[in-house]
Amino acid sequence: MVSTTLAGARCSTTLKALGAVGNNVPVYLTLTSAALSPDQNATDLGYLLHKHPDRAQEFGVTAGTAHVFYPEADEHRCTVALLLEVDPIALVRGRRRGGGRSGDGLTLGQYVNDRPYAASSMLAVALGKVFRTALAGRCDARPDLVDRPLSLDVHVPSLPGGAELVRDLFEPLGWQVDASPVPLDETIPEWGPSRYVDLRLTGSQVLSQALSHLYVLLPALDDAKHYWVTSDEVDKLVRAGEGWLAGHPQRELITRRYLKHQRELVETATSRLLEAEDVPVDLAADEPAPRPLVALRKEAVLAALQESGAQRVVDLGCGEGALLRWLIDDARYGEVVGADVSPLALSRAEKRLNLDRMPDTQRARLTLLQSSLTYRDDRIAGYDAIVLMEVVEHLDPDRLPALEQTVFGHARPKTVIVTTPNSEHNVRYEKLAAGAMRHPDHRFEWTRAEFRAWADGVAAMHGYATAYSPIGEDDPEVGPPTQMAVFTRREAVAT
């Protein structure tokens, strides 16, 4: 019933839930029911949950051992506690058996992490197993109790997720939410809050609904599922979300995170949820209207390439191959080289471009190779054009001369196309702090004048002419979001 597919190489990247050796200490959650009137008995909770209030019980679950016990149980108040002792060894071994790349994930984070303490998908899985019948809304002994709302108080002392998000997820479901942020370290107040909140939910809820809220929302809040998501997760989500998820204002976020950001699964789940509630399916409604800058940039670069008449082209810093796709689909480019310094990016490009299924004639036009901007490389020399699309700003300024040598001095193509952000335009991004850069790995962002000063200097030193053009809306005040320079080699004076 618990789908924990641990096979396949993907596990090594998705399975972050590896506890430190010997850290099988509890993940903890309590749920308290209070009697609202004299005719109610709080200990009815025991019937509903199928767990006797006077006994501590333990259950084997995939993640380790789940303990259920009642810290308090009388007719006025009844509290059930679920305590999960994570067994990290099983998970680490599962990963190894899963055949991840050797050496993958050999980091300390694998051994010391928050999994054994934080309420996460593992707690949700334990919840689903231990309280299965209650979650399904069945109670053979006391069927009369099943649909009766209870006055509930849920306590999850370390729940990942910001206080705001926690409120956004639980409040629409009728819970009163008290989420106090847990400080990262109370002795070092300047560090601020951790990613955990100490959560208390109170409200009048039917138990099976309350449990299904936790079952779906705990993993969504943690956003780091401990197992690989397959299509039967969609079934589980649809089942658990019945009656409340389709109309939830945060449906999209919940679904996306629950299904680990897998677009296809998310779309399937969304359609099924909406159909089940008779809501018309219109997924396209959420699509943003303006053409994204990425597309504009690609178009501008392709147009410049076309104009240069280049047939043999190098995309230097090709990443996962966004531009390569277009280049190899255009027969005018007889030879296309995608070069990147990251072996991971290259292997992703290989997958994204479906290299192993590409027709021979097309495949023969494409070469992927690992190269670096700062080491000169004969393999990229002698081509018609080199594209540096959003690449230069990822180099430290003192390494730019090496890039200039590599590209303009050594490889010396007829045409070099460089695009880079225009920092003047940053003030137009509301979410960007003043003076901040657009990407954490940007080492600099140039104004239009700075870009031209650099490009003109390089062109003069290496015998190129430059032409500049804006990409994206050319704001009269701060210029376009992206700027492009096309360098054309001045033909050598022959003697």
Partner 1 sequence: MSELAIPELCLVVLVGASGSGKSTFARQHFGQYEVLSSDFCRGLVADDENDQAATKDAFEVLNFIAGKRLAAGRLTVVDATNVQPDGRRQLVELARAHDVLPVAIVLDLPEKIAVARNAERPDRDFGAHVVRRQRDQLRRGLKRLTKEGFRKVHVLSSVEEVDAATIVRERLLTDFTDQHGPFDVIGDIHGCRSELETLLTKLGYAIVRDDEGRPVDAVHPEGRKAVFVGDLVDRGPDSPGVLRLVMGMVGARHGFCVPGNHENKLVRALQGRDVKRSHGLEETLDQLSRETEEFRKEVERFCYDLVSHLVLDDGRLVVAHAGLKEAYHGRASGRVRSFALYGDSTGETDEFGLPVRYPWANDYRGRAMVLYGHTPTPEAEWVNNTMCLDTGCVFGGRLTALRYPEKEAVDVPAEQVWYEPVKPLAPSPGAVVERAHDQLDIEDVLGKRVIETAYHGRVTVHEENAAGALEVMSRFALHPRWLPYLPPTMSPVATSARPDVLEHPDEAFAGYAALGVTDLICEEKHMGSRAVVLVCRDEDAAGRRFGAGDGETGAVYTRTGRSFFSPGLTEELLAGVRESVGKADLWTELDTDWLLLDCELLPWSAKGGELIRNQYAGVGAAARTALPNAVIGLVQAQARGVDIGDLGERTALRAMNADAFTAAYRRYVWETGVDLPPGEAHLDGVSIAPFQVLATEGRTHVETDHGWHLRIADRLVEAAPELFRTTRRLRVDTGAPESTAAGAAWWEAITADGGEGMVVKPYAGLVRTKKGGLVQPGMKVRGKEYLRIIYGPDYTAPEHLARLRDRNLGHKRSLALREYALGLESLTRFAGGEPLWRVHEPVFAVLALESEPVDPRL
Spatial distance between the Cα atoms of 83 and 70, rounded to a whole number of angstroms: 11
Q: Give 114 or 223: the residue with its C-beta nearer to partner 1.
A: 114
Confirm or reject binding of residue 95 to partner 1 (CB under 8 A): no
- Structural element, H or E, at residue 421: strand 415-421
Pair type for strands 57-61 and 150-160: unpaired
If we measure between CA atoms, which residue out of 270, 232, 238 comes closest to residue 251?
Answer: 270
Contacts of 32 (CB under 8 A, 6+ apart): 72, 77, 78, 79, 80, 152, 153, 154, 155
Spatial distance between the Cα atoms of 386 and 314, rounded to a whole number of angstroms: 5
Residues 27-46 that bind partner 1 (CB under 8 A): 27-28, 30
Q: Give 410 or 438: the residue with its C-beta nearer to partner 1.
A: 410
If we measure between CA atoms, which residue out of 40, 190, 183, 66 comes closest to residue 122?
Answer: 66
Binder of partner 1 out of 1, 284, 289, 492 (CB under 8 A): 492
If we measure between CA atoms, which residue out of 289, 330, 338 comes closest to residue 310?
Answer: 330
Binder of partner 1 out of 37, 39, 187, 280 (CB under 8 A): 187
Q: Output the smallest distance, CB 45 to partner 1, in A.
A: 14
How many angstroms separate the first and last alpha carbons of the chain?
81
Residues 282-311 that bind partner 1 (CB under 8 A): none
Q: Give 184 or 358: the residue with its C-beta nearer to partner 1.
A: 184
> Which one-letter amino acid corresponds to residue 416?
V
Binder of partner 1 out of 100, 149, 157, 162 (CB under 8 A): 157
Residue 127 in contact with residue 82, Cβ under 8 Å? yes
Q: Give 329 or 491: the residue with its C-beta nearer to partner 1.
A: 491
| Angle, CA of 479, 480 and 486, to the nearest 5° | 110
Binder of partner 1 out of 183, 204, 276, 442 (CB under 8 A): 183
Half-sphere exposure of 211 (CA within 13 A, CB side): 25
Q: Give 358 or 395: the residue with its C-beta nearer to partner 1.
A: 395
Q: Output the smallest distance, CB 217 to partner 1, in A.
A: 18
DSSP designation for 296: H
Residues 197-226 that bind partner 1 (CB under 8 A): 198
Residues 423-462 that bind partner 1 (CB under 8 A): 441
Confirm or reject binding of residue 55 to partner 1 (CB under 8 A): yes
Confirm or reject binding of residue 60 to partner 1 (CB under 8 A): no
Spatial distance between the Cα atoms of 452 and 84, rounded to a whole number of angstroms: 60
DSSP designation for 136: T
Confirm or reject binding of residue 478 to partner 1 (CB under 8 A): no
By CB under 8 A, which span of 91-99, 194-202, 231-239, 290-298 interacts with partner 1?
194-202
Spatial distance between the Cα atoms of 414 and 304, rounded to a whole number of angstroms: 13
By CB under 8 A, which span of 165-173, 406-414, 465-473, 481-489 interacts with partner 1?
406-414
If we measure between CA atoms, which residue out of 327, 315, 307 comes closest to residue 407?
Answer: 315
Binder of partner 1 out of 69, 383, 408, 451 (CB under 8 A): 69
Confirm or reject binding of residue 134 to partner 1 (CB under 8 A): no
Q: Give 18 or 48: the residue with its C-beta nearer to partner 1.
A: 18
Any long-range contacts for 365-368 (C-beta under 8 Å, 24+ apart)? 365/328, 365/333, 365/334, 365/335, 365/336, 366/324, 366/328, 366/336, 366/337, 366/338, 367/335, 367/336, 367/337, 367/338, 368/318, 368/337, 368/338, 368/339, 368/340
Residues 364-393 that bind partner 1 (CB under 8 A): 370-379
If we measure between CA atoms, which residue out of 174, 402, 417, 153 comes closest to residue 307?
Answer: 417
Binder of partner 1 out of 67, 95, 256, 298 (CB under 8 A): 67
Binder of partner 1 out of 3, 40, 194, 488 (CB under 8 A): 194
Q: Give 238 or 380: the residue with its C-beta nearer to partner 1.
A: 380
By CB under 8 A, which span of 98-106, 208-216, 254-262, 266-274 interacts with partner 1?
98-106
Confirm or reject binding of residue 76 to partner 1 (CB under 8 A): no
Confirm or reject binding of residue 117 to partner 1 (CB under 8 A): yes
Binder of partner 1 out of 136, 182, 355, 437 (CB under 8 A): 182
Binder of partner 1 out of 62, 113, 422, 423 (CB under 8 A): 113
# residues near partner 1 by CB under 8 A: 82
